[in-house]
Amino acid sequence: MIPRTLFNADHEAFRDSFRRFMEKEISPFHAAWEEQGFVDREVWRKAGANGFLCMTMPEDHGGAGADKLYSVVQMEELARGGFTGIGYGLHSEIVAPYLLHYGTEAQKAKYLPLLASGDMVGAIAMSEPAAGSDLQGVKTTAIRQADGSYLLNGSKTFITNGWHADLVIVVAKTNPAAGAKGTSLFLLESGTPGFQKGKRLSKLGLKAQDTSELFFDNVKLSAEALLGGTAFEGRGFICLMEQLPWERLQIAIGAVAAAQAAIDWTMAYVKERQVFGQAVASFQNTRFTLAELQTEVQVARVFVDKCCELVNVDQLDTATASMAKYWTTDLQCKVMDECVQLFGGYGYMWEYPITRAYADARVQRIYGGTNEIMKEVISRAMGLGGR
């Protein structure tokens, strides 16, 4: 194996610390959370108390001022453990950065410390029943009123952390006739009149993750609810595009870590499982299959590690992040399928982590922009045009 050079001793010490946290506060309860369809709220507060939320936010906003590689370590460990119900990554490395990069000083001061402590859970509402990867097709509107407030109407679906969320960044059209240039981002607190959370959605995988529908019926928002203030009205689509490389790389990070975990579980299983009087690992097909998978995951890890180096110095471009997201999630699904096959009938039993990982993997090729959209982004960056 190629030694990893991405992390230093402090990152690895953090990895050990977060593993201990998972062993104590997540692992014993995750199966029960899968049954109930959401994680207990207390796991958010405990993470905040231990400094595991919003680590890359500045210290004066409740964070640790850490580099993004600490968040990479956390994402890897959650994926390695199969703890897909934990929405820390979206909360800390998607919602919080929008506030940090685009929020007013008042918005940052109000919300970032609460997100860092776990007293507030964050979500971002992009997808709609008729608008998934096509963010320009958003139908939710926030129309400015005579008094300077906005009236929010519409609905969102597939919203991670949506049921727990205390703060939601809502993508809405402030000028529906202006296309992408009419898109703005709003900060919406739970309990605001007219804002309702729908049922928790029942999914193929990610069963412990609370994924919800959100509904907005004449929700009155003050001008202060516009992320970045009035100067940012109509700039929401630009903000979304600027943050997408890091968001998509996060999916790739989880994909590679989950694929490696699947190989590790399968290695242990085939050495113990006896078929026709010998270990499954002794068959050439088993050895060659695992050798091929490990090679491909190693290649993917080197690429993703390079992308992590780039994002840590703000040099990761959209096309490269799209390559990472598409390639690694396709590979993740391939690895899961091959490993389930090597488990045989037991690979179809929910009590085995490989089975849950197989179910969890499928959405990786869909959210964050489908892999077909990733190929479109890459081809356009190559100068191949398109509509």
Per residue in 84-113, pLDDT (tens digit) is 999 999 999 999 999 999 999 999 999 999
Q: Which residues pair with 187 in a beta bridge?
A: 169
pLDDT confidence of 132, banded at 50, 70, 90? low
DSSP 144-169: EPTTS-EEEEEEEEEEETTTT-SEEE
Same domain, 73 and 174: no
Same domain, 143 and 214: yes
Same domain, 248 and 218: no
Mean pLDDT value of segment 353-375: 96
Residue 108 lies in a domain: yes
- Looking at 120, 138, 169, the residue that finishes a domain is 120
Mean pLDDT of the chain: 95
H or E element, residue 23: helix 9-25
Residue 194 lies in a domain: yes
Above 90 in pLDDT, residue 122? yes
Residue with tokens 């190559």: 382
pLDDT confidence of 254, banded at 50, 70, 90? very high
DSSP 73-85: HHHHHHHHHT-TT
In the residue annotation, 247 being an active-site residue is answered as yes
Residue 130: per-residue pLDDT: 78
Residue 3 lies in a domain: no
- Looking at 204, 234, 264, the residue that finishes a domain is 234
- Catalytic residue (choose from 128, 247, 296, 338): 247
126-155 residues labelled b (16+ CB within 10 A) or e (exposed)? bbbeebbbebeebebbbebeeeebbbbbbb
d(CA 50, CA 310): 28
Query: Residue 130 corresponds to which tokens in the numbers above?
Result: 């008729």
d(CA 80, CA 74): 10
Same domain, 46 and 170: no
Same domain, 262 and 351: yes
Same domain, 289 and 310: yes
Same domain, 216 and 267: no
Residue 386: per-residue pLDDT: 62
- Pairing mode, strands 211-221 and 278-279: unpaired
Give the domain extent around 264: 238-381
Other beta carbons within 10 Å of 101? 13
Residue 286: per-residue pLDDT: 97
Residue 308 lies in a domain: yes
Same domain, 223 and 243: no
pLDDT confidence of 133, banded at 50, 70, 90? low
Above 90 in pLDDT, residue 364? yes
H or E element, residue 15: helix 9-25
pLDDT confidence of 137, banded at 50, 70, 90? confident
Q: What percent of the chain has pLDDT over 70?
A: 99
CATH number at residue 51: 1.10.540.10
Selection from 98, 89, 43 nearest residue 68 by Cα: 89
pLDDT confidence of 387, banded at 50, 70, 90? low
Residue 343 lies in a domain: yes
pLDDT confidence of 135, banded at 50, 70, 90? confident
SS3 at position 226: strand
Same domain, 143 and 247: no
d(CA 35, CA 198): 19
Same domain, 189 and 256: no
Residue 93 lies in a domain: yes
Residue 42 lies in a domain: yes
Query: Residue 188 corresponds to which tokens in the numbers above?
Result: 């919406």
Per residue in 303-362, pLDDT (tens digit) is 999 999 999 999 999 999 999 999 999 999 999 999 999 999 999 999 999 999 999 999
Per residue in 143-201, pLDDT (tens digit) is 999 999 999 999 999 999 999 999 999 999 999 999 889 999 999 999 999 999 998 99
d(CA 339, CA 348): 11
CATH number at residue 147: 2.40.110.10
Same domain, 105 and 140: no
Residue 3: per-residue pLDDT: 86
- Which has the minimum average pLDDT: 132-136, 167-171, 239-243, 292-296? 132-136
Above 70 in pLDDT, residue 295? yes
Residue with tokens 């979304």: 240
Selection from 59, 49, 195 nearest residue 123 by Cα: 195
- Looking at 234, 261, 282, the residue that finishes a domain is 234
Same domain, 287 and 375: yes
- Which residues are CB-contacts of 141 (< 8 A; sequence separation ≥ 6)? 151, 152, 153, 154, 172, 173, 174, 176
Report, in this order, helix, strand and coil percent for the chain, each rounded to 5.
Answer: 55, 15, 30
Based on the structure, what is the number of domains in the chain? Answer: 3
Per residue in 34-73, pLDDT (tens digit) is 999 999 999 999 999 999 999 999 999 999 999 999 999 9
pTM score of the predicted model: 0.95
Above 80 in pLDDT, residue 123? yes
Residue 1 lies in a domain: no
Q: Are 71 and 55 in contact (CB under 8 A)?
A: yes
Tell me how far apart the 2 most distant CA atoms of the chain are, in Å.
80
Q: What percent of the chain has pLDDT over 90?
A: 94
H or E element, residue 219: strand 211-221
